[in-house]
Each structure stands twice: as structure tokens, then as C-alpha cells.
Amino acid sequence: MAVDKPAGLDGRGTAVDAGTYERLLADVTAWVEGPGEEWARVIESTGSVPAALRTELRERGFLGLAAPRELGGAGLSFTQWMGLMEVFSRSHASIRMIVHVVNGTWRSMNPHATAEQRARYVLPSVAGNITVAFTLTEPLNGTGADISSTVRRVGDVYLLNGTKHLITFGVHCDYWLLFARLEGSSGRDGTVGLLVARNSPGATVEDTSNTMGVRGTDHARLTFVDTPVPVDRRLGEEGDGLAIALGGFLTPSRISVAMSCVGLAERAQELAVGYARRRVTFGKPIASRQAIAFMLAENAADIQAARALVMHAAAEWEAGSGEAPALSSMAKLTAVDMLTRVTDKALQVHGGLGYWKSEAIERVYRDARAQRFEEGTNEIQKAVIAKDLLDRAAAKEEAGA
């Protein structure tokens, strides 16, 4: 299967001019603070994302911002995209999730797609005309090479067997971008990346969307029993599965999730500052109380420190630095811990009222907890960082020997 790899389609080498970017930033900010808040109320009250919201995001071009112009996107650089991701993340978590995922899955598909696959799957995904759900995680396995879903080839078809869970948009997608291994293989060499149609025979979909936070984003548990997948829906070659899943997707996605933490923390801080200025005790706003003011000051410093690391990681990935994978884990680890501290203090500033659904901070607090495991837990991030640190020390020692 010949893979067509046009240059410059990884989203690193392009950027829009400053004027265009400022207009985009203003447009996104106005939408998040206006219509986005109205949609947030609808999502929270119904527990689902209306089809009309997805249509609006598509028509505004918000689902293709991160992709290069050659794929129908806006042509933003990755660091520019992070500035917009920061703003989107101040909105409802399900809105952020839609924008984040659709603006990211093309990175996984595009480098390994044939010209026909690019036209059939990648371009429609960037345009927002189809939804592709990233389908890696399994209930009885770790992430990465530790997957047990299998395929066996029969002529021009793979027969897929296995179970996946925690699959975002797995219920209402058009395709699952699914990772499995050749029957009888082990390690990364036998892994494959497949585009599996949502209505494929032998596929059972269980909606598992009843979550603590991030209401409205559907999640699925998927079971496959001899599900036929045409071989021409395989991305890349047999053995490329993990490279597709992790190579072009995981590092920028971790950085994007880290920036999501920053944006959500900024929203929590905004709510806390506003409440502290309004709430009066003994004739004075509680913002004048040192205990409250110090919480807000700590939050402000925490947010700025995390944001600086996230943007550094984004710039390094954009430049193709070998340090980017470890930096992405550092950024995610740091930002999610920051978010935990900031949202806790922000809710504390609200006192008991912050625990009630009538206050916006209640939703922000619930949504923040999900970030602790999106794109890997803190423990995974620490393992990645430690391995990179020790590998670099060993290489330096060997070079000096």
C-alpha cells in the first residue's frame, strides 16, 4: 500500500500572519464568552451535545483551525493553535473536547494515508463532515504495545476481535481509528491502525457516558466479534500501528491537554476573582481579606508558570526538537497539578455556595478532575520523564567514555 506523504502537512511549518491570528483570537474569544456559554447551559441541562452545536462549530471553521491549508485547515502554527486552545478551554469541557479531538486526529492519520485515504477520511475529518474516534484504550491492558485486540487477514479483509473502552465520541462517530495487533504477534511490530466504520457488523457499542464531569461528551465501550475491516482501510503498513497511534499524535495532544488545563484554570480564577469582589462580609468584599487575596495571588502565579512551560513544550515540538516528548509530559504533569490546586482554591473562595450547581465554579471543578487522566495519568508522565532523563544521562556518559 503506497503512502503519499506531501511535505509540510504536519502542522509545524506553517503559520498565519499576526493580523489574521488576532482576528481569529478575537472571534474565538467572543464566541466562547457569548454563544459558547449558552451552549454550555444546554449541555449541562440535557447531558448531551446537540447536533446543532457541532454544525455551528463546523460552519465557523473551528474544527479545522490546526490543520494546514493543504488539508483544508486554517494553517495555524502549533504555537498559534495553542493560544486558541487556551481560550476554547475556558468554555464547557465537551466543547473543548470536540475542538481538541477533531483538530488533532488528522495528525495521526495524515502521515500514513494514501492519496485516496486522505481524500476519503482526512479531508472530511478536517472539514468536520465526519467524526473519527481515536480508539486505543482497552479495559484489561495498559496503553501502547500492551493491547490484545487482534486481527487476522482473510483475503482482502481483516477480521477484528477484542474490546475497547473509554472511547471518546465512540458512540456517535462515523469511524473508529482503531489499533489492534496481528493475531499471534507481540510487541509493537505486529500492530496495525485501521479505520473501522461505525456500523460494521459484529461491533457492539455500549454508551458509557454517565461521567462525573465533561457532561455531553459520549464515551463508549466497544466489543468486536469477527468484525470485517477492508484491508484498504489500514493506515500505513502492518507493524505501523503504534507509530500511527503515538508518533504524530501523542506528543502534540499531551501539550494541547496541558494547555486545556491552563485555560480551565484561567476560567476558575476569573470566577473566583469575580466572586471575591462581589461577596461582602462585615462591610467589606472578601477580596480585601488577606487569606482570600493570597489564594488568588498563588493561583495567578501558578497559572503563569504552567502556561510558560506549556508554550515552551509547544515551541520545541513545532521546531522538531528531540526534547519535545519529555517536555510534553512535563507540561501535562505540571499543568494538571496546577489545575487541581487552582480549582480547589477557586471553589474555596466561593465558600459553601461553590458546591451548588447554581455556581459556574461547580462545573469547572468537576470538569477539571478529568484532566488528571486524559492523555495519560501523572504516573505515566513521570515514567516518560524519568526514562528520558536516565537515557540522556547514559548517552552522555557513553559519549564521554
In terms of residues, how long is the chain? 401
C-alpha cell belonging to residue 287:
477580596
Residue 366 near residue 373, CB atoms below 8 Å = no
Is 375 assigned a catalytic role?
yes
* Buried b or exposed e, range 186-218, using 16+ CB within 10 angstroms: eebebbbbbbbbbeeeebebeebbebebbbbbb
Q: Which of 276, 196, 191, 205 is nearest to 242 (CA)?
A: 191
Q: Residue 22's CB: how many other CB atoms inside 10 A? A: 11
Instruction: Round to whole Å and give the CA distance between 283 and 337.
Output: 35
C-alpha cell belonging to residue 68:
494546514
Which residue is catalytic, options 237, 266, 375, 397? 375
C-alpha cell belonging to residue 132:
473519527
Where in the sequence numbering do the catalytic residues fall?
375
